[in-house]
Amino acid sequence: MENPRITRIEAGRLEGKRPRNAGSNARLGEHGIAVRPRIVRLTLEDGTTGFGACGASRMQAEPLLGKPIHDLFSPQAGVSEPALPFDYPLWDLAGKLYGQPVYELAARVNGRTVEKPYRAPCYDTSLYFDDLHLGTEAEAARLLAQEAREGYERGHRAFKIKVGRGARHLPLEEGTRRDIAIVRAVREAVGPDAPILLDANNGYNLNLTKRVLDETAECGIFWMEEAFHEDPVLYRDLKEWISSRGLSVLIADGEGQASPTLVDWARDGLVDVIQYDIFGHGFTRWLRTGRQLDEWVIRSAPHHYGGHIGNYAACHLAGAIERFTYVEWDEAETPGIDASGYSIDEGWVCVPDAPGFGLELEEEAFQRAVAENGFTLA
Ligand SMILES: [Mg+2]
């Protein structure tokens, strides 16, 4: 069949778990243990199915029914603009239709080829403020160091630590000192070679950022993420300070409601790593953005948290974007999603050489979710 039509659309929200509870960050409270990926599955008249993360409503889905796949997806450009709410299910569906992994299709869109076995670099993003109940800096540092070791045992070799404890949850001085003690303890725990990334969720200001980077200079911080709300004047100052201190810390930003001029500032050399959300920005847009950032010699590292299957989806951009730096890995398991083709080894995600995103839906769990909280169109 040349151009099969979509004959069935099913949606349902699954629920999975992280291996441990995730605490607060600089601005929010407990993130908890649950992850709740909303899944949409598309079925073509020839029986091919594809699924992916998708928040679309029944009303948004209705016009898709009966549409031929090539009205929605092209191998040259990916998902068409009007179909972008179904970005991930359509990439998976196209991969299954062509019998190719999404990473191969994606690389081709950007004029690149991939090496096999295909893998993507990742970092452990699980080091939250899990220590707020502890009375001392030393106990807090010990706990976070132990959590980093857990990640190391799972195969991680790069670690992001949430900082900014003094922004809201602890008194300023106590929180800042605790951040510093934790960074040093994690460095000790993961050895000298593992990149360490800091994320303040905009909970620092310029002077606090300099102080923390100064006092952790011997830890070799790889990037400083969302130090404060992005501002070209303050970022220029920070950049100049970093180079005057002989540090090599990169500036990373872009998740959430990023400034629309962020990439212009990146182009001006003020931001080194762009982090638009893997779902909010989407896969097709990320391909285009990444290609543009490559031209400007800026790194790409999509934000991902709480959606579980973004862990896997983000890997498929790595071959298409030359300066793709990291997948943000939020470890979880979700009944209903079989991700057994993926594994983490020495800081790399090993991605299965299977059609689409290389994931399987477990029918019983998915049907339960569809019946309980979703919909079917056919
Ligand atoms: Mg962040």
**Average pLDDT per block of 10 residues along the chain, 378 residues long:** 94 98 96 97 98 98 98 98 98 98 98 97 98 98 98 98 98 98 98 98 98 98 97 97 98 91 96 97 98 98 97 98 98 98 98 98 98 98
Residue 333 CA, ligand 1 centroid: distance in Å: 21
Do 365 and 10 touch, CB atoms closer than 8 A?
Answer: no
The DSSP string of 95-124 is: HHHHT-BHHHHHHHHTT----SS-EEEEEE
Residue 132 CA, ligand 1 centroid: distance in Å: 19
6-99+363-377 homologous superfamily: Enolase-like, N-terminal domain (3.30.390.10)
32 membership: H or E segment, kind and range = strand 32-35
343/122 Cα distance (integer angstroms): 11
Name every residue whose Cβ is closer than 8 Å to that of residue 228 and which is 6 or more positions away in sequence.
200, 202, 203, 204, 205, 206, 209, 234
Residue 283 CA, ligand 1 centroid: distance in Å: 19
Q: What is the pLDDT of residue 258?
A: 86
Residue 227 CA, ligand 1 centroid: distance in Å: 10
Do 301 and 332 touch, CB atoms closer than 8 A?
Answer: no
Q: How big is the CA angle at 352 (ends 154 and 31), to the nearest 5 degrees?
A: 45
- Outline which parts of the chain fall under CATH 3.30.390.10: 6-99+363-377
Residue 201 CA, ligand 1 centroid: distance in Å: 6
Residue 155 CA, ligand 1 centroid: distance in Å: 21
Residue 59: alpha-carbon gap to chain centroid: 28
Residue 225 CA, ligand 1 centroid: distance in Å: 6
Predicted TM-score (pTM) of the model is 0.97
Residue 196 CA, ligand 1 centroid: distance in Å: 14
- Outline which parts of the chain fall under CATH 3.20.20.120: 119-350
Residue 117 CA, ligand 1 centroid: distance in Å: 29
Which CATH fold topology does 119-350 show? Answer: TIM Barrel (3.20.20)
Residue 199 CA, ligand 1 centroid: distance in Å: 6
218/315 Cα distance (integer angstroms): 31
Residue 246 CA, ligand 1 centroid: distance in Å: 25
Residue 356 CA, ligand 1 centroid: distance in Å: 28
Instruction: Please compute, for residue 280, the number of CA atoms within 13 A of its CA located in the half-sphere on the CB side.
Output: 13
Backbone angles phi, psi at 237, to 5 degrees: -60, -45
- Altogether, the residues listed in the chain come to a count of 378
Do 252 and 224 touch, CB atoms closer than 8 A?
Answer: yes
* Nearest residue to 69 via CA among 57, 83, 59: 83
21/293 Cα distance (integer angstroms): 35
Residue 242 CA, ligand 1 centroid: distance in Å: 20
